[in-house]
Structure 1
Amino acid sequence: MLERRGVMVSGAAAVCFYEVCPTVDQYCQLRLIAGLSEKAKEAAEMALPKTVFAVSGYHCCDLVAMGRIVGDGACHLQLCDIAVHPRLQRQGLGREVVLRLTAWLDKNLPPSAEVSLIAKGASNLLYAQYGFVPTAPAAISMCRRC
């Protein structure tokens, strides 16, 4: 049985948040709907069980918001897969996901832990509200696709 961790009313939609990863199909679908890059189902099947912590927001039975923390669990972690269904964007659900993820970080990690993320577009404005700062020019983010 999943434990509900709060209800948020977004416009006319009540969204229930759970501290759980979405299913593989829900994950892949919301990524596409929200405009994130496509992930192969096989990759999601491998990745989701290795999640350190996740938040999923549901309206009725539909996944409408999500976010994950991945990494080694103590030294190096990353916020990823922050996504909100387009019809519910700009209503505070993204902020709620990041708030819940950062609350978990603050409660569970040692002060020496380093948490990173890739901010695309204007999303850096959201993440800055939760203590994330640009690393440039001292460091830059780099990516390698297989």
Structure 2
Amino acid sequence: MDAPRQDAWKDEEDLLLATTVLKHIREGKTQLEAFQEVAEQLHRTPAACGFRWNATVRKEYQKEIQDAKNSRKATRTIYSSSKSSDDTPMSLDAAISFLKEMKTKQFEDYGKENLETQLKKLNEDNEKLREELKQWEAAWNEMDKLVHWVREKRKSESGV
């Protein structure tokens, strides 16, 4: 007769795992973060929680998972839309998600313009450096002529 495992998952633990993972999905966090959170509470490893989720629990929550994903998308759409004029308070996670999205968009927009501006500035700097190089070469040539002239004068004065 097989005895039940001492580390077998209880219904309450499965429920905690499911609610935590769904909460993380809604908030735009990763499932790995959820597994770590549950692992600390249940004194299990994050890998054990991930395995339990993927092997058993997830199958029972397909509709809830889809609802959580849709909720996350709707939240992002609401807060990232500039048309929204209401003063609905934003959760911290939604604000972080919104700011990350804005940073990405700003970098994409700024990056294209900035590259063109940088290229123009580099070309201008390159032209200035070429002019400076010409001046230095001219000065070097003058110094060389002066050195040769001084040597010739010394030779002629010393009679060598």
TM-score (norm 2): 0.24
**More relative contact order, 1 or 2 (CA 8 Å, 6+ apart):** 1
Q: Scaled by the length of structure 1, what TM-score is found?
A: 0.25
Q: Which structure has the bigger radius of gyration?
A: 2
- Higher helix share goes to which structure? 2
